A and B are shown apart, each in its own frame.
Chain A
Amino acid sequence: MVTLTVNGQVIQAAEGQSVLHAALAAGVYIPHLCDHPDLEAKGGCRLCSVTVDGGDVPVPACTTTVAEGMVVDSRTEAAELTRRTSMELMLATHPADCTGCPKYGKCELQSLYQYMGVNGQDWRMKSRPVPNNDSNPLISHLFTRCIRCGRCIRACQDLRGVKVLDYIRDGVGVHAGVPGGKSLVEAGCRFCGACIEVCPTGSIVDAVGVMEKHPAYADNVVPCRAECPAHTNIPEYIRAVREGRPGDAVAIMREKLTFPLTLGYICNHLCETGCKRTDVNDPLSIRNLKRFAVENDKEQTWKGKGFMKPRTGKRVAVVGSGPCGLTAAYYLNKLGHDVTVLEKRPQLGGPMTSGIPAYRLPIEGVNAEIDYIIQSGVKYEVNHEVSDVAALKKDYDAVLVAVGVSKGKKLGFLPGANFDQVYTAIDVLADLRANKDISYLGKTVCVIGGGSVGFDAARSLVRKGLTVNLACIEPADKILADKEDQVEGAEEGVNILPGRSFEEIEGTQEKVTGLRVHTVKSSTYDRATGKVTEVAVEGSQTVIPCDSVIFATGQYTGLQDFENFGIELNRMGYPIDPETGKSGFKTSVEGIFAAGDAITGISFVIKAIASGREVTSVIDKYLGGDGDIEETLVERTADPHIGEFPGFGTLPRVEMDVIDPETRVKNGDENVYRTYTCEQAHCEAQRCLQCDLRLQLETVKLWNEYGGGE
């Protein structure tokens, strides 16, 4: 340590530290502009001018190294004159009109001229207009506001090594920019955003709209992580994949997720809708990278890592063993509670083992993920249906209702809906998963409903050699299932009939003969009343001949079917928290909690996992814990130097190889896609913009954050 005096205050500094950083760290404010904590100091702006040891020529504090006994003063007349003149010179050529600037109120230059109270009116005023450039993705350039501090250039050249930005000389003057009039994509920009982060003025800013989606700054910088319901650290695991460390990638996923493999196959990947690369060309294929990592994780080094708290002696029952229930059970056990999972089916896993078809999700993988949870110490009972949850309170300190929505709905108003050969998709899918005989369906079926469950049923039955029609009221461009399901389903032979309204199931109680439908021009669904209004195409009535009809028109909890489940339910069968009148983690009985699809209605596995994690904290706090389930399973570093990469912006999204339709129908349970090869995974992972690196950069503190100015 070195001791020195700055502005009359004795401070300690590290050997080799600059006078500026030493002073700022000690809470002594010295104005500064071109210096940035993450970049090499250059001393170009001279706002940090100080005199040292009574000398009369001011020196920049940013490029002066501390020395024992040094006496530094930023307030001497000579230092003030240098600083003031420098600021005046900058303002003389900076646009006079700050009010049109997107950085107004968050601008370092503005804060500095406010602090110094100077303007440039005594000098010759000049403007150096550079046309605004909004044509690049993600980044807007307004170099008329550039003050040539060089921070963006140092960030791009030295810190990142991308070497896109440089000083540009045009007829009007010098400013930062992209040489040769190239676009950012042409120049090889990697869109890391460091230039935006370090720009002290409004010269380089996020494109309009980029930073406005989330309330928290970090969420706007790394939207993929924010969009993921469990906030998985996506850029970090993609980095591990790129660097050839799939095991580390899985460890990073495992910090937030209990079922990474399952998600690698079937996640609805909200993260990809947030991916900033979408604005450059296409989003990262995050889900497929996850699948690659899990399938290539040979060492499984994450196993056994993380916290395991001492036993608390508290007992918790978890009703339902879907992704939400098992996730909560896993973390509650780690928190020291004694957890028992109660499952009505013969096997654990909920929809993962009894709903989602094998061709989408391999059963061995799911079972391995469930086993890991059980082996961590979670007890379970299968074939145990809970009909009165309140009764569990006798034996348990807390109960979690995570029953999901396991009952299929039929459209009761449809004549014939009560015939024997009318089924629900969820039951058919469960039978398929259990390898039961499904000859009861006959040879030709008609699936009603175009959501992902409908397609799961239809595509599974095609694989069983049945003739499958899938009809839904939505028009072709509004089918609920995602595009892949529609395209692949059609390829496999599912006869998709969009825009159909259902009139009657024809036949007798014992024998269904067909489904009578007509075509609709348009239809609207009123969420409040559940009513559908439609405009029919005249004379479009037809009968789809079939041996059975399968409803895929929604699911419900089924809790209202019990005589008295023991907690307050709404009329749809969802538990409600009487305090808010809505479904939430709390229920009408103290100590009984609810989470997952049982409070949200049908949703996605990732949402259920996130809900399971959240409710864990709530339950733990109720049981006297701190609710903290955060853990680090692998240490990691991210190299800020990402290097040059010509053509980065045009790297195409790598898709997984898909098996041809004929083969995949024939192969039955085999997955439709082939997991990325190492090469494919590397190619895809290197497309990541690494938005998270931007958060490593320090935010420069303004004068008013040093508490009371001088």
Chain B
Amino acid sequence: MEEKLLNLPETCCPVDELLKYVRGHKCLDCGKCVFGYEGAAQLEMTLNDITMKKSRSTDMDQLRKLCGLMKTQALCEDGVELADTALAVMEKYADEFAQHIAKRSCKAGVCKRFVTYHILADKCVGCGDCMDACEDDAIQGRAKFVHVIDQNECTQCGKCKEACEEDAIVIAGAIKPRCPPRPIPCRR
């Protein structure tokens, strides 16, 4: 059992951490038993969907059922250990999992699909640095105009935030800041 996974700092998302753990697990490289290999594959795909905001309401029940079977039906200790770990993490961080599945938030802000990037109108100076940094052409704007992120195009890569010297770009969870829908002249 990975004790680390049960004592996560606040900056870590338990869903994401469990997903990483599953992805690195031996069971995905073995294939000698159905519950170990396909079980791990389902854990991986389902956890990934949860982090990607594509979960189903039945996911937690199904994963618990799956892990329960893995515990008794995997061919070796590796599969048992994987199931135990997954069950323990899901139990200890039940709230975080529920928040993800309800598609509300990733408290730690790790799962990118749960966050959006925004340019605050009162801080933007219209310099265009963010637009240059964006590889997805997701930012509209021109000199001296408040820049705007097209949420359909944004991939939450964070490069714009790094590029902005004015700290005008923020990450938001469920509650979004008020931003202009299209570029408007800068107030500053």
Q: Chain A interface (Cβ within 8 Å of chain B)?
A: 42-46, 49, 57-58, 81-82, 85-86, 89-90, 92-93, 122-124, 126, 148, 150, 167, 169, 173-175
Report the minimal beta-carbon distance from B15 to chain A, rounded to whole angstroms.
Answer: 15
B38 at the interface (CB under 8 A from A): yes
Report the minimal beta-carbon distance from A307 to chain B, rounded to whole angstroms.
Answer: 51
| Contact A126:B41 (CB < 8 A) given known A42-B32, A148-B31 | yes
Question: For residues 66 through 108 of chain B, which have their beta carbon under 8 Å from a beta carbon of chain A?
Answer: 66, 69, 72-73, 75
Report the minimal beta-carbon distance from A695 to chain B, rounded to whole angstroms.
Answer: 29
B114 at the interface (CB under 8 A from A): no
B30 at the interface (CB under 8 A from A): yes
Q: Is the CB of A89 within 8 A of B35?
A: yes
B49 at the interface (CB under 8 A from A): yes
| Contact A169:B29 (CB < 8 A) given known A42-B75, A82-B69, A124-B45 | yes
Give 20 CB contacts A-B under 8 Å: A42-B32, A44-B32, A44-B34, A46-B73, A58-B73, A82-B72, A86-B35, A89-B41, A90-B34, A90-B38, A93-B41, A122-B62, A123-B42, A126-B41, A167-B30, A167-B31, A169-B31, A174-B30, A174-B31, A174-B37
Q: Using Cβ atoms and an 8 Å threshold, which residues of chain B touch A174? A: 28-31, 37
Q: Is the CB of A81 within 8 A of B34?
A: no
Which 10 pairs, one residue from A and one from B, show the smallest C-beta to C-beta distance?
A174-B31, A124-B45, A89-B38, A44-B33, A148-B31, A86-B34, A57-B72, A46-B73, A45-B34, A169-B29
Q: Using Cβ atoms and an 8 Å threshold, which residues of chain A touch B35? A: 46, 86, 89
Q: Using Cβ atoms and an 8 Å threshold, which residues of chain B touch A81? A: 69
B51 at the interface (CB under 8 A from A): no
B128 at the interface (CB under 8 A from A): no
Q: Is the CB of B62 within 8 A of A92?
A: no
Q: Using Cβ atoms and an 8 Å threshold, which residues of chain A touch B65? A: 85
In Å, the complex CA distance between A46 and B62 comes to 19
Q: Is the CB of A148 within 8 A of B32?
A: yes
| Contact A124:B29 (CB < 8 A) given known A44-B34, A86-B35, A148-B37 | no
Interface centre among B33, B38, B46, B75 (most CB of A within 10 A): B38
Q: Is the CB of B32 within 8 A of A167?
A: yes
Q: Is the CB of A82 within 8 A of B38?
A: no
Q: Is the CB of A44 within 8 A of B75?
A: yes
Interface centre among A92, A150, A174 (most CB of B within 10 A): A174
B39 at the interface (CB under 8 A from A): yes
Q: Using Cβ atoms and an 8 Å threshold, which residues of chain B touch A124? A: 42, 45-46, 49
How many residues of chain B are within 8 Å of chain A by beta carbon? 23
Interface centre among A43, A90, A122, A124 (most CB of B within 10 A): A124
Q: Using Cβ atoms and an 8 Å threshold, which residues of chain A touch B34? A: 44-46, 86, 89-90, 148
Q: Is the CB of A86 within 8 A of B73?
A: yes
Q: Using Cβ atoms and an 8 Å threshold, which residues of chain A touch B42? A: 89, 92, 123-124
Report the minimal beta-carbon distance from B37 to chain A, rounded to whole angstroms.
Answer: 6
| Contact A85:B66 (CB < 8 A) given known A44-B75, A57-B72 | yes
Q: Using Cβ atoms and an 8 Å threshold, which residues of chain A touch B66? A: 85
Q: Is the CB of A126 within 8 A of B31?
A: no
| Contact A43:B46 (CB < 8 A) given known A85-B69, A89-B39, A148-B32 | no
Report the minimal beta-carbon distance from A564 to chain B, rounded to whole angstroms.
Answer: 79
Seed contacts A58-B73, A175-B31; 4 additional CB < 8 Å A-B pairs:
A44-B33, A45-B34, A86-B35, A89-B34
In Å, the complex CA distance between A49 and B33 comes to 13
Report the minimal beta-carbon distance from A306 to chain B, rounded to whole angstroms.
Answer: 50
Report the minimal beta-carbon distance from B4 to chain A, rounded to whole angstroms.
Answer: 26
Among residues of B, the one whose C-beta sits closest to the C-beta of A57 is B72
Q: Using Cβ atoms and an 8 Å threshold, which residues of chain A touch B33? A: 43-46
In Å, the complex CA distance between A126 and B42 comes to 9
Q: Using Cβ atoms and an 8 Å threshold, which residues of chain A touch B75? A: 42-44
In Å, the complex CA distance between A126 and B43 comes to 12
Q: Using Cβ atoms and an 8 Å threshold, which residues of chain B touch A169? A: 29, 31
In Å, the complex CA distance between A66 and B46 comes to 39
Report the minimal beta-carbon distance from B16 to chain A, rounded to whole angstroms.
Answer: 17
Q: Using Cβ atoms and an 8 Å threshold, which residues of chain A touch B28? A: 173-174
Q: Using Cβ atoms and an 8 Å threshold, which residues of chain B touch A58? A: 72-73
Q: Using Cβ atoms and an 8 Å threshold, which residues of chain B touch A167? A: 30-32
Q: Using Cβ atoms and an 8 Å threshold, which residues of chain A touch B31? A: 148, 167, 169, 173-175
Interface centre among B28, B32, B34, B46 (most CB of A within 10 A): B34
Q: Using Cβ atoms and an 8 Å threshold, which residues of chain B touch A45? A: 33-34
In Å, the complex CA distance between A148 and B41 comes to 14
In Å, the complex CA distance between A46 and B34 comes to 8
Among residues of A, the one whose C-beta sits closest to the C-beta of B72 is A57
Among residues of B, the one whose C-beta sits closest to the C-beta of A122 is B62
Report the minimal beta-carbon distance from A90 to chain B, rounded to whole angstroms.
Answer: 6
In Å, the complex CA distance between A148 and B37 comes to 9
Q: Using Cβ atoms and an 8 Å threshold, which residues of chain B touch A175? A: 31
In Å, the complex CA distance between A90 and B33 comes to 10
Among residues of B, the one whose C-beta sits closest to the C-beta of A56 is B72
In Å, the complex CA distance between A124 and B75 comes to 22
In Å, the complex CA distance between A202 and B37 comes to 20
| Contact A82:B37 (CB < 8 A) given known A123-B42, A126-B45 | no
Q: Using Cβ atoms and an 8 Å threshold, which residues of chain A touch B45? A: 124, 126
In Å, the complex CA distance between A82 and B35 comes to 9
Q: Using Cβ atoms and an 8 Å threshold, which residues of chain B touch A86? A: 34-35, 38, 73
Among residues of B, the one whose C-beta sits closest to the C-beta of A45 is B34
In Å, the complex CA distance between A136 and B130 comes to 55
Q: Using Cβ atoms and an 8 Å threshold, which residues of chain A touch B46? A: 124
Q: Using Cβ atoms and an 8 Å threshold, which residues of chain B touch A44? A: 32-34, 75
In Å, the complex CA distance between A58 and B34 comes to 15
Q: Using Cβ atoms and an 8 Å threshold, which residues of chain B touch A90? A: 34, 38
Report the minimal beta-carbon distance from A178 to chain B, rounded to whole angstroms.
Answer: 15
Report the minimal beta-carbon distance from B23 to chain A, rounded to whole angstroms.
Answer: 13
Report the minimal beta-carbon distance from A179 to chain B, rounded to whole angstroms.
Answer: 14
In Å, the complex CA distance between A126 and B37 comes to 13
Q: Using Cβ atoms and an 8 Å threshold, which residues of chain A touch B29? A: 169, 174
Question: For residues 112 through 166 of chain B, which have their beta carbon under 8 Å from a beta carbon of chain A?
Answer: none
Q: Using Cβ atoms and an 8 Å threshold, which residues of chain A touch B72? A: 57-58, 82
Q: Using Cβ atoms and an 8 Å threshold, which residues of chain A touch B37? A: 148, 174
Report the minimal beta-carbon distance from B164 to chain A, rounded to whole angstroms.
Answer: 37
Q: Is the CB of B73 within 8 A of A92?
A: no
Report the minimal beta-carbon distance from B186 to chain A, rounded to whole angstroms.
Answer: 47
Q: Using Cβ atoms and an 8 Å threshold, which residues of chain B touch A126? A: 41, 45
Q: Using Cβ atoms and an 8 Å threshold, which residues of chain B touch A42? A: 32, 75
Q: Is the CB of B38 within 8 A of A93?
A: yes
Report the minimal beta-carbon distance from B60 to chain A, rounded to whole angstroms.
Answer: 14
Question: For residues 1 through 55 of chain B, which have their beta carbon under 8 Å from a beta carbon of chain A?
Answer: 28-35, 37-39, 41-42, 45-46, 49
Q: Using Cβ atoms and an 8 Å threshold, which residues of chain B touch A85? A: 65-66, 69
In Å, the complex CA distance between A49 and B34 comes to 13
Q: Using Cβ atoms and an 8 Å threshold, which residues of chain A touch B69? A: 81-82, 85
Among residues of A, the one whose C-beta sits closest to the C-beta of B59 is A124
In Å, the complex CA distance between A82 and B33 comes to 13
In Å, the complex CA distance between A44 and B75 comes to 6
